[in-house]
Structure 1
Amino acid sequence: MADPTDPSDPTHLKHLSSRWLPPALSALLILFCLWQAGHGLGEAYSYWSDELWSVAASRSDWGILVRDWLLPDVHPPLYQILLKLWIGAFGDGEPATRSLSFLIAALGLVAAAVCSSGRGAGRRLFTVAFLGTSPSFLFYAQETRSYALSLTLSTLMLGTALLLRQRTGRHEATLRWGFGISCLLLSLTHYFSLIFVVVVLAVATAEGTVFRSRTDAIPLLLLVMLWPLLHALLSPPAQNLTRIDWIGVTPISGTITQFLAGTLPLLDPRQGPRGLLILIGLVGGIGAATFPLLKPGAWSRRAPATGEARFLLTLIITFVALILAIDPVRPLSQSRYYIVVLPALAYLVGIGWDISVGLGRVRRIALASLLCAALLLQLRIGTQHLAVKQGPLENHKLLASFVAERDLCRKGEGCWSSGWFLAALTNTYFSSRELMAFDPGTPLAETRLDRPLLGFRRAYPKLKGLMANNPTMACWEAPGSWKATSFILLPRTSPAQPARHGLRPCP
């Protein structure tokens, strides 16, 4: 009789292979996704406006950070606090601050793999693959903003919730703490994520499979709502809501489009005819491969997985329905905010593979091939988006280096500045001597300028009026991947030669 403990025995080798190969494949998949997300991470390409805000806030002293940045802002404080600690240890350069998001995103992939472990190698691989090839994952793993943190905490929250549904014995107390802490931390990351946390708590309480008792959810809900209530008391909601007046969403269709763009870009209706044909082919193929699952009793063969799928679908549908109701009253939807829902879809893809076990070998191979094709397509979209991001999106750095090299704002009393928070611009790319806030009592578009003007995002719509009232001025903009929003108005007789520095005339 063969001895399975004998290293030379084929049975022993097969046992080792079946034990270690799936985790090794998961680790390689995680490394591959991180390699894709890390392209260009070391390049110090320019921050865009919101990143400038994050860096400037977290560079401030603690008192100033709380009083002047966090309380007047429309975001919870967790990410800015983490970024401040990170800047204190590693500096405030572009690669340094973006590395924090990259590390957090990497932990999100690891959390997805761990929370899917013990449920079959296929489920774990497809969960990690969907999450790691998502355009939102690739894009925001290199962003000095809170979105990677929302992704990772949502992954941990939902993963522990799924594990708690199985009542995993001696680990149950640890998982319960993990679920509660991740809910609380996620609620402190972004207010859009807070809404998702409340939905998760409501569905988990109604279902009765995550909490031992439905009343156990009450203390956690009170903790989750503590910061928003405190924030509302210390900073009037009306003041905060004006900070999101720029968000405009067409009811229903706009909300759905933003959701799809942030989570399932292959379903985004804006992808064009070619993308639509590819999508129809994939959906048709996957539908044909999974058709036997529609037969009565087919899902009951995988009852635990079916319950998990129902739980996640209920979360997603409830959350999207709630946002559909909120958007017509107070528009909230932005594609990047929906990154908090992405882990639910990733777990759902993995569970779907688990449920498909009854399809038979040939159909499962066909299904796996189609899923891989869809993942490769979304990976391609993601790498394209990442290349656009590194364009960069807004080239404040180029404009600032031109101003500094030509000493355009230091010879006199500085340059007028308008269109973005002055405190977010100074001491990052511009110095405090170079920028002077434009007098808010004077309409910018009707002003006759007596010195150069540096304009940013909100000033760009007023450029036409500025040019009409200042015919002796020439406008130069810093090109980026987005429609340019950073510009400088200089006398037409200026010897600065902005074109040689990479700037271009404004259209």
Structure 2
Amino acid sequence: MAENAQDRIDALIERFFWAIVALILFVALAFRLPGLDSRSLWIDELFSEWFSSRSFTELWRDVPLYETHPPIYYTLLKLWTLLVGNSELGLRSLSLVASLATVFLIAVSGRLVKAAWPGKAVGLLGAALLAVNYANIREAQNARPYSLLTLLFTVAIIAALILVGRLQRGIDVTEQRGGWMAPGLILGLTVGCTLWFHNTSLFVALGIWSGLALTLIVTPAELRLRNFAIFFAAGVLALLVWAPYVPIFIQQSSTFMGLGFWLEPKTRDFYSAWMLFVGDSWPALLLGIVFLGLGLFRLVRSAPASALLVAAILVIPLYAVLAVSFSLKPIYLQRLFVWMVPLALLVIALGIVTATRSQWPRLVLALIVMALAATRSMEENRKPIDDWKGIVAEIARNARPGDVVIAAPAEGIIAVDYYARRQPNFPPIVCVPGCYPQRNLPRPYGSNFGAPKLILADGEIVERALKTHGRVWLVQVSVSLYDPKSIVRSRIAAARTFVRYHGNALAKVELFE
């Protein structure tokens, strides 16, 4: 009876497969659209807009000298905004398209990765979970590179799974070269491209090729040399694609090691990436880990080589980055591992689909996980962000002749300028210690070498502004990082009276008369 029920479900999935995919994409779009064109850009997105407005020459010659991220995303965003404009929607739509493409790719992965996922249901359920996943939704609404990076890594991982599956089935490479060549080429090309997008992509490449090497353990002895040669060739291709960027990578890495970065390693870092899968709570984390473990167990039984590859990709990059963070330089950020989410949700979907032979318990389990994920996504949508649009509008509504805006530190001008240039008669802006980027100053730097920390001498800039202007609007970014001694505010408060405060802990403005 159970087999007949499963056959009927498989037949329904086959018959309505593309309709289900379309429905999942509709749900994904519905979760990603709210606020996309109205929510204020936050400081990192404003950096994306600022960098993408630079010339191509400046982007590739000068920006890598002080910015820690590769310039390829800003270049693509520049080209994209030439077509769609640089409004909030225009800037974020590139990430939105990449996110929807990732959902689609996961939905059809059951058709592609035949050796690993039993049927198409796993891919469809994985896509449904991804459609309501808060981390993927968050990056889909961000003008940052992580959504594109997730798409590229998803393509690479699926290509690696297809490659391993075909090689494990003993394809004769001399007669059926297309069986391994296409996924091998896609793997090498896409991983090579990811290395241009983020400097920590090297750790993900390490995880992929470590997983490929581990598959040799369960490969028949007579096929190991052949498989090794194919994996090696794909790795060489990735390195060749990356090679033109290597000089910039070396330059950025050496510069970054001399930067007093703002991150601090925390115990939570050891598990926070796993909270991206279902939700940022202990019940969601435990539920996700249970189904992730069950999915890996099922994968070990049905496709051990694929299981080794998946486990290596989910574990090695994360804990390699954590090893560096705790021993050499703090580099771990939770958002760096959003790329793991599609793969992890596929494994979780496998765990749900194979948890029981009865259909109704599977459906209930799937709905519970989806409900948890969707609830977390709706909570995320209501969280406070940098409201630079509101701050600039507040200043513009209440500004008087003779007012001045003092923006500190250097990156404060980036936070204000995007919205200020859309406001008529906005007060003049004075940057402390100067407008971004302020490079090669004899002082410590915070998150990049364009925004130095403030020193006592910067108070002279404030004094000069006070002599020629009346009321002061003080706009500050990351006060605890750049101005922990409150140099700028103290100088203003000594000469003017505090009137009111607007904003939140992440983005704020104070008025002094």
TM-score by length of 2: 0.76
Alignment partners' CA distance in 1, 2:240 and 2:299:
38
**Corresponding letter in the other structure for 2:143:** T
Equivalence for 1:490: 512
Alignment of 1:29-108 (within 5 A): 29-43=24-38, 45-108=39-102
Alignment partners' CA distance in 1, 2:372 and 2:487:
44
- How far the C-alpha of 1:58 sits from its partner, in A, is 0.4
Q: Deviations along 1:168-219, whole A, 9 cap, x unmatched? A: 8545433222222211122222222332123212322443587653431442
- How far the C-alpha of 1:23 sits from its partner, in A, is 3.0
Equivalence for 2:390: 398
**Corresponding letter in the other structure for 1:485:** A
Are positions 1:19 and 2:7 aligned together?
no
Alignment of 1:461-500 (within 5 A): 462=484, 466-469=488-491, 470-471=493-494, 472-474=496-498, 476-480=500-504, 483-491=505-513
Alignment of 1:416-427 (within 5 A): 416-421=406-411, 424-425=414-415, 427=417
Alignment partners' CA distance in 2, 1:258 and 1:485:
25
> Is the contact between residue 211 and residue 308 of structure 2 (CA under 8 Å) also seen in structure 1?
no
Equivalence for 1:501: none
Are positions 1:248 and 2:248 aligned together?
no
Alignment of 1:117-128 (within 5 A): 117=111, 119=114, 120-128=119-127
**Corresponding letter in the other structure for 1:246:** W
Q: Which of 336, 342, 357 in structure 2 is aligned with 1:360?
A: 357
Amino-acid identity (%): 18
**Corresponding letter in the other structure for 1:378:** A
Alignment partners' CA distance in 2, 1:242 and 1:153:
30
- How far the C-alpha of 1:464 sits from its partner, in A, is 5.3
Q: Which of 199, 207, 215 in structure 2 is aligned with 1:207?
A: 215
- With 457-466 and 70-79 compared, the bigger mean Cα shift is at 457-466
Q: Which of 180, 183, 189 in structure 2 is aligned with 1:181?
A: 189
Instruction: Provide closer, same or farther for how the CA distance between residues 46 and 214 of structure 1 changes in structure 2, counting only shifts above 3 A.
Output: closer
Alignment partners' CA distance in 2, 1:462 and 1:186:
37
**Corresponding letter in the other structure for 1:216:** A
Q: Which of 458, 474, 480 in structure 2 is aligned with 1:454?
A: 474
Alignment partners' CA distance in 2, 1:456 and 1:56:
18
Alignment partners' CA distance in 2, 1:77 and 1:93:
20
> Is the contact between residue 101 and residue 141 of structure 1 (CA under 8 Å) also seen in structure 2?
yes
- How far the C-alpha of 1:405 sits from its partner, in A, is 4.1
Instruction: Provide closer, same or farther for how the CA distance between residues 489 and 311 of structure 1 changes in structure 2, counting only shifts above 3 A.
Output: same
Equivalence for 1:320: 318
* Matched residue SS, 2:419: coil
Alignment partners' CA distance in 2, 1:225 and 1:261:
31
Q: Which runs of 5+ in 2 are unaligned?
A: 1-7, 220-226, 434-453
Equivalence for 1:137: 136
Equivalence for 1:337: 336
* Matched residue SS, 1:488: strand
**Corresponding letter in the other structure for 1:231:** I
**Corresponding letter in the other structure for 2:380:** H
Q: Deviations along 1:208-250, whole A, 9 cap, x unmatched? A: 58765343144235336535631145x4534334567111112
> Is the contact between residue 201 and residue 217 of structure 1 (CA under 8 Å) also seen in structure 2?
no
* Matched residue SS, 1:454: strand
- With 371-380 and 434-443 compared, the bigger mean Cα shift is at 434-443
Q: Which of 304, 307, 310 in structure 1 is aligned with 2:305?
A: 307
Q: Which runs of 5+ in 1 are unaligned?
A: 1-12, 492-507
Alignment partners' CA distance in 2, 1:258 and 1:243:
25
> Is the contact between residue 184 and residue 224 of structure 1 (CA under 8 Å) also seen in structure 2?
yes
Instruction: Provide closer, same or farther for how the CA distance between residues 65 and 199 of structure 1 changes in structure 2, counting only shifts above 3 A.
Output: same
Equivalence for 1:259: 273
> Is the contact between residue 399 and residue 427 of structure 2 (CA under 8 Å) also seen in structure 1?
no
- How far the C-alpha of 1:92 sits from its partner, in A, is 0.6
- How far the C-alpha of 1:94 sits from its partner, in A, is 0.5
Equivalence for 1:3: none
**Corresponding letter in the other structure for 1:373:** I
Instruction: Provide closer, same or farther for how the CA distance between residues 62 and 369 of structure 1 changes in structure 2, counting only shifts above 3 A.
Output: same
- With 80-89 and 398-407 compared, the bigger mean Cα shift is at 398-407
Alignment partners' CA distance in 2, 1:384 and 1:227:
42
**Corresponding letter in the other structure for 2:90:** A
Q: Deviations along 1:306-335, whole A, 9 cap, x unmatched? A: 432332112212223312311112111111
Q: Deviations along 1:391-410, whole A, 9 cap, x unmatched? A: 5x1111122223334445x7
* Matched residue SS, 2:512: strand
* Matched residue SS, 1:417: strand
Are positions 1:384 and 2:379 aligned together?
yes
> Is the contact between residue 478 and residue 484 of structure 1 (CA under 8 Å) also seen in structure 2?
no
Instruction: Provide closer, same or farther for how the CA distance between residues 97 and 490 of structure 1 changes in structure 2, counting only shifts above 3 A.
Output: same
**Corresponding letter in the other structure for 1:143:** N
